[in-house]
C-alpha cells in the first residue's frame, strides 16, 4: 500500500463511490440552509435578549431538523455505500453502519 493510499484511509474526508443526483443534493442543501437559518435565528434571539423558553423551543426545533437531516443521509448511506460494500464482500460495512446509527441517536 502506498503512502497516499494509507493517508486516504486515515482521513475522515472520504468520497462516495456513487455520486448523489442533483435533485438529492439540492434537497439536502435546502434542508441545511433552513437549519442554518434556524441557528442564526437562535443567535439573533440571544443578541436580542429573548426569553429563555422561546430560545429552548427554537433549539429543540433546530435539533429535530438536524436529526431528520442525519436520518436522510443515513438512509442514503445504507442504500448506496453499505449496499455496494456488502456486494463486494466487505461485511465490515455493517459494523460501520451500526456505529454510525449509534452516533446519530
pLDDT 10s digits, 17-53? 888 999 999 999 999 999 999 999 999 999 999 999 9
Residue where the block lists cell 435546502: 30
The answer to whether residue 12 is domain-embedded is: no
Average pLDDT, the chain: 90
The answer to whether residue 14 is domain-embedded is: no
Residue 12 binned pLDDT confidence (cut-offs 50, 70, 90): low
The answer to whether residue 60 is domain-embedded is: yes
* Tally of domains in the chain: 1
Q: Measured in Å, how far apart are the chain's first and last C-alpha atoms?
A: 36
The answer to whether residue 57 is domain-embedded is: yes
In the structure grid, which three cell numbers stand for residue 23, read together?
Answer: 435533485
The answer to whether residue 1 is domain-embedded is: no
73-80 contacts: CB < 8 A, separation 24 or more? 73/28, 74/100, 74/101, 74/104, 76/20, 76/24, 80/16, 80/17, 80/18
Which CATH number covers residue 61? 1.20.58.1000
The answer to whether residue 2 is domain-embedded is: no
Closest CA to 32 of 77, 59, 69, 71: 69
41: domain range?
22-104
The answer to whether residue 5 is domain-embedded is: no
The answer to whether residue 7 is domain-embedded is: no
Q: Is the pLDDT of residue 57 over 80?
A: yes
pTM above 0.75, yes or no: yes
Closest CA to 73 of 47, 51, 104, 96: 104
Amino acid at each position: 500500500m502506498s503512502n497516499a493510499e494509507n493517508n486516504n484511509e486515515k482521513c475522515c474526508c472520504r468520497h462516495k463511490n456513487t455520486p448523489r443526483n442533483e435533485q438529492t443534493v439540492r434537497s439536502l442543501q435546502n434542508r441545511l440552509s433552513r437549519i442554518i437559518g434556524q441557528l442564526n435565528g437562535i443567535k439573533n434571539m440571544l443578541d436580542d435578549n429573548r426569553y429563555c423558553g422561546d430560545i429552548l423551543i427554537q433549539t429543540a426545533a433546530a435539533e429535530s431538523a438536524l436529526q431528520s437531516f442525519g436520518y436522510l443521509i443515513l438512509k442514503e448511506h445504507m442504500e448506496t455505500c453499505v449496499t455496494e460494500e456488502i456486494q463486494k464482500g466487505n461485511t465490515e460495512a455493517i459494523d460501520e453502519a451500526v456505529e454510525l446509527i449509534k452516533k446519530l441517536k
